[in-house]
Amino acid sequence: MTTSAPETTREGQHALDADVIVVGGGNAAFTAAHAAAVRGRKVLLLEKAPQDEFGGNSYYTAGATRISHGGLEDLADLVEPDERHAATVVPPYSPEDYTADLVRVTEGRNDPDLTEALVHEAAPNLRWLKSLGLKYRLMYERQAYQREDGSYLFWGGLHVGNVGGGEGLMHDHLAVAERLGTEVRFGQDVSGLIVEDGRVRGVEVRQQDGTVTELRAESVVLGAGGFESSAEWRREHLGEGWENAKVRGTRFNNGDMIAAGLAIGAQKAGDWSTCHSTQWDAFNPDNESNRELTNRLTRQSYFLGIIVNTEGQRFVDEGEDFRNYTYAKFGREILKQPGSVAYQVFDANLRAMLRTEEYDMPGISVEQADTLEELAARIGVDPQSLAATVADYNASIDTSVPWDPTVKDGRRAETTPVKSNWATPLTEGPFYAYAVTCGITFTFGGLKSDTHGRVLDAQGEAIPGLYVCGEMLGGLFSANYPGGSGLAAGVVFGRRAGTLA
């Protein structure tokens, strides 16, 4: 990365280390850095992680990004060519659809102004990033099923992702930053903000020996993530038991920069009591911040089968909605179960439909048996309880309704709790049980800003020189979120912040 000597401002003022300092190293932070750099600003990006752990939470994602579009023809200029396109159906996904999904899954607690910007700007901003060097594709393995005629049908409103997943996304971002002349420094433990005459003038960086140095700029963009990596903050804000959740992504998002913003008068925003949490491999010995397996430790074919707790009882409607609209909230439901562990159960017929990248991986927590009773014994569940649960489930299914995983097919199991869609009897051995626990992704509470990322104080006034983006920006999500909208929000509000900074 390029490094220049600090600039000197008017006589009597401190020298500047950059025009814009960006704190954070994920998708939102790099997008903000790019937006400032293309304006000719001198940008310094400070990443807390060492270089071999760079990328924030974004590195650990599948790279899925939710955008509105008019169907496959509309996406042709954005995604990489693929011979399967000729036999592919991608239903249009309008801004109105996007808005309705956000309102529905957050129970109406999404900020309407932030939502308006997100749903209209995500697609053009992905095209902007593509023009800078990022690469996108259709996510066949995650968001489509091949039909009997050989064609592919996409579902659930989430169709586009980065080539190479989250790892590809962040390596592309790093390459763009280098090409634009942005200086990236790793291992930077930013501990506070410098405020002079009511304006943010830079940041304080804690050194390994405990000393603190200052870096100065005209403005600072905060994109350093939420507080999900701090067991203490999780317990305080999310509640008792959350200290036991497994951290899916980076271990460096501990809330320090949220605290720094609050310390200078920034206003809180969003839902501090909920978060994005998923079903996560329970017993893999390396099931936190795994740089090799990243998102493959998630288990997201659950809607095909059933989920039972250690007492052999179902406790959620696995078919409530498309996976994209339920996966981010079911982690917390598992956390409430005895031992914070549950099991996804499938039979031989369903096993072939499970996502290969998630269910055929090294070290997976799975047991297999020819009968349900044998399976129960292997996972420490009462055999009679599991067998009774499955028998009741099987008997309650209206098998006259066609089963179709590409649509909400209405094929219900009228048991307790009901399964609203995709119910199919579990009858053919061998049977499989995948152990899952709660994997926390990111927290929904953060700092208050306007739609351009300007951080607001308690009076609703912008704090001069301070911007926020990414998971630190509170207000978009509550209780749940539509899959892929986190990376989309990072792009939209990262670019907006970087355009002003």
Task: Give alpha helix (H) positions in 244-382.
Answer: 256-263, 327-335, 348-351, 356-359, 372-379
Q: Which pLDDT value is given to residue 139?
A: 97
* Cβ neighbours of 235 (radius 10 Å): 15
Task: State the Cα–Cα distance between residues 423 and 410, nearest whole angstrom.
Answer: 9
Q: Are 32 and 125 in contact (CB under 8 A)?
A: no
SS3 state at 91: coil
SS3 state at 8: strand
Element (H, E) at 162: strand 160-162
Q: What is the DSSP letter of 80?
A: P
Class at the top of the CATH hierarchy for domain 7-226+445-500: alpha beta
Q: Which two tokens stand for residue 164?
A: 């190479």
Amino acid at 42: K
SS3 state at 411: coil
Q: Which two tokens stand for residue 121?
A: 């700007």
Condensed to tens digits (0 to 9), the pLDDT of residues 133-168 reads 999 999 999 999 999 899 999 999 999 999 999 999
Confidence band, pLDDT 50/70/90 cuts, at residue 1: very low
Q: Which pLDDT value is given to residue 207?
A: 87
Average pLDDT score over the chain:
96
Q: Which pLDDT value is given to residue 14?
A: 78
Rg (CA), the chain: 23
Q: Which two tokens stand for residue 181?
A: 């002349």
**Closest Cα partner for 160 from 242, 98, 215?**
98
Quick one: 208 exposed, middle or buried, by C-beta within 10 A (0-12, 13-18, 19+)? Answer: exposed
Over the range 400-426, which residues count as b (16 or more CB within 10 Å of their CB) and which as e?
A: eeeebbbebbebbbebeeebbbbbbbb
Amino acid at 421: N
Q: Which pLDDT value is given to residue 3?
A: 36
Task: State the Cα–Cα distance between residues 138 and 366, nearest whole angstrom.
Answer: 30
**Closest Cα partner for 403 from 415, 393, 413, 395?**
413
68-95: average pLDDT = 98
Whether 7 shows a pLDDT value over 80: the answer reads no
Whether 237 shows a pLDDT value over 50: the answer reads yes
Q: Are 354 and 302 in contact (CB under 8 A)?
A: no
Determine the distance from the C-alpha atom of residue 30 to the mean position of all C-alpha atoms in its chain, rounded to a whole number: 16
107-114: average pLDDT = 98
For the chain, the domains span 7-226+445-500, 276-439
Q: Which CATH number fits domain 276-439: 3.90.700.10, 3.20.20.70, 3.40.640.10, 1.10.3370.10?
A: 3.90.700.10
